[in-house]
Amino acid sequence: MMAEYSALSLLANALKGNKDWKPAWRKPDPKASYDVIIIGGGGHGLSTAYYLAKEHGITNVAVLEKGWLGSGNVGRNTTAVRSNYLLPANTRFYEHSMKLWENLSHDLNYNVMFSQRGCLNLAHTPAQFDDYARRGNAMRHLGVDAELMTTAQIKRLIPALDVSDSARFPVVGGLMQRRAGTARHDAVAWGYARGADRRGVDIIENCEVTGFLRDGDRITGVTTSRGDIRAKKVAVSVAGSTGRVMRLAGIETMPIESHVLQAFVTESLKPFIDTVVTFGMGHFYLSQSDKGGLVYGGDIDGYNSYAQRGNLPVVDEVMSEMLALFPGLARVRMLRSWGGVCDMSMDGSPIITTGPLPGMYLNCGWCYGGFKATPASGWCFAWTIAKDEPHDLNASFTLDRFHRGLVIDDKGQGATPRLH
């Protein structure tokens, strides 16, 4: 089969005036029933649909999205992709994601602009540097690339970074993952959507789930703003709205709180930095998009919120952190800022599981790190839905781990969602 997008198809369509391109996905009306319904047309829902069709041959699938495709957090993140975790459950899962990322453009026949430009965590104290050595060793032990960098090496890599002794928090070294990087987030949503659509999945936009159809305890479908739809299996993939959707199914509490995370982009600059860099004395990360804008962000706002916009103290803090690292950016103008609502889980790790009700499957709790997980999340969730049991890679990401003392707390913060 000739790839739908290729140099040849580009040329052929150019010669014909670009009139013959097919829409990347259809706009079907919902059918009365499906084998699987996925609630949520974000990155994770779409990748779940794609892998259900591709890996498990399940194509009688609907993805229900209450807004338009890609309107939620898949289009609101800062696009970083990395697998530099400490705990084995997280490292293995995110490394699987990294491997899927490395072949994603080819797999989808859609350029997701995955750029392995590296991700550098800066250390500002000898103790922090030791801690990074420990994490780097834990990563290498599981076959993930990691290397410690000296201040002199960092200065050569990022000339604009203030590594002087007079910096507010002098840099003493860093932990680099070279295979980490960035990807074009909208292309990820569109690429998965087209891949799923071409395999027969119905992507239904502007279709809000308003309740669940039940037969006793069992979930047998959903009620929506476009009518009732029945399904053998209903998968919930609505990070940011998990509590609200689960309440529709009668589940009143979840190990999740909703918080808002802000992100920022500056006007376009000439090539300035060719890696992702994170600050170690606060919460700050920065990279440069292919368009030239600096894309950066910091911590969540510090209180529970369902508002898709942020507060001023965090803006102030993020700018201060940026200038502590890059004093030369003081006069660069910020172009836009925005916010997204995150599922902050009780241990900072996600949930991909069967249940909690019969006929239901749950994917949530991504905190503010869900974008890099998009391929593995969908891959594992599709496996869990198809086989009614988790894959080894997501077997630890259960809903009942909190009650059983099996939390996966990479930062060691305890059960306080806003601190993860």
Partner 1 sequence: MKILTCPMNGPRNIDEFQSFGPVRAEPDPDRTADADWSRHLFRAENRKGIVVEWWRHVPSNYFFLAERDLVTNEVLRTFDASERWAHP
Instruction: Give the Å distances, CA to CA, from 159 to 162, 163, 292, 373.
Output: 8, 9, 17, 31
Q: Is 261 in the site for partner 1 (CB under 8 A)?
A: no
One symbol per residue from 273 to 302: x for binding partner 1 (CB under 8 A), - otherwise; what is it? -----------------------------x
Q: What is the DSSP string of 194-220?
A: HHHHHTT-EEE-S--EEEEEEETTEEE
Q: Which is nearer to partner 1, 282 or 292 (CB)?
A: 282
Contacts of residue 250, defined as CB under 8 A and 6 or more positions apart, other chains included, come to none
Smallest gap from Cβ 400 to partner 1, in A, equals 10
288: left (phi over 0), alpha (psi -120 to 50) or beta: beta
**Which class for 157: exposed (0-12), middle (13-18), buried (19 or more C-beta within 10 A)?**
middle
Please work out the total of residues on this chain that contact partner 1, with binding judged by CB under 8 A. 25
Smallest gap from Cβ 25 to partner 1, in A, equals 29
Question: For the chain, how big is the Rg over CA atoms in Å?
Answer: 22
Q: Which is nearer to partner 1, 71 or 109 (CB)?
A: 71
Amino acid occupying residue 324: A
Smallest gap from Cβ 166 to partner 1, in A, equals 27
Q: Count how many residues are written for the chain.
A: 420
Interface pick for partner 1 out of 40, 136, 255, 298 (rule CB under 8 A): 255
Among the listed ranges 181-189, 280-288, 362-370, 410-418, the one in contact with partner 1 (CB under 8 A) is 410-418
Q: Which is nearer to partner 1, 316 or 388 (CB)?
A: 316
Residues numbered 214 to 243 that lie near partner 1 (CB under 8 A) are 243
Smallest gap from Cβ 237 to partner 1, in A, equals 17
Start-to-end CA span in the chain (Å)? 46
Smallest gap from Cβ 247 to partner 1, in A, equals 9
Tokens for 333, please give them: 């103008």
Among the listed ranges 121-129, 133-141, 249-257, 327-335, the one in contact with partner 1 (CB under 8 A) is 249-257
Residues numbered 386 to 405 that lie near partner 1 (CB under 8 A) are 402-403
Rounded distance, CA 324 to CA 328, Å?
Answer: 10
Rounded distance, CA 164 to CA 144, Å?
Answer: 31
One symbol per residue from 321 to 360: x for binding partner 1 (CB under 8 A), - otherwise; what is it? -------------------------x--------------
Q: Do 347 and 407 touch, CB atoms closer than 8 A?
A: yes
Q: Which is nearer to partner 1, 252 or 290 (CB)?
A: 252
Smallest gap from Cβ 347 to partner 1, in A, equals 9
Interface pick for partner 1 out of 313, 355, 358, 412 (rule CB under 8 A): 313
Tokens for 185, please give them: 């987030």
Interface pick for partner 1 out of 244, 336, 387, 411 (rule CB under 8 A): 244
Interface pick for partner 1 out of 155, 198, 230, 418 (rule CB under 8 A): 418
Residues numbered 181 to 210 that lie near partner 1 (CB under 8 A) are none
Q: Which is nearer to partner 1, 89 or 346 (CB)?
A: 346
**Which class for 356: exposed (0-12), middle (13-18), buried (19 or more C-beta within 10 A)?**
middle
Interface pick for partner 1 out of 65, 162, 257, 410 (rule CB under 8 A): 257
Contacts of residue 286, defined as CB under 8 A and 6 or more positions apart, other chains included, come to 273, 276, 277, 278, 294, 295, 296, 322, 325, 326
Distance of CA 22 to the CA centre of its chain: 28
Q: Would you tell me which residues interact with partner 1 (CB under 8 A)? A: 243-244, 252-258, 302-307, 311-313, 316, 346, 402-403, 415, 417-418
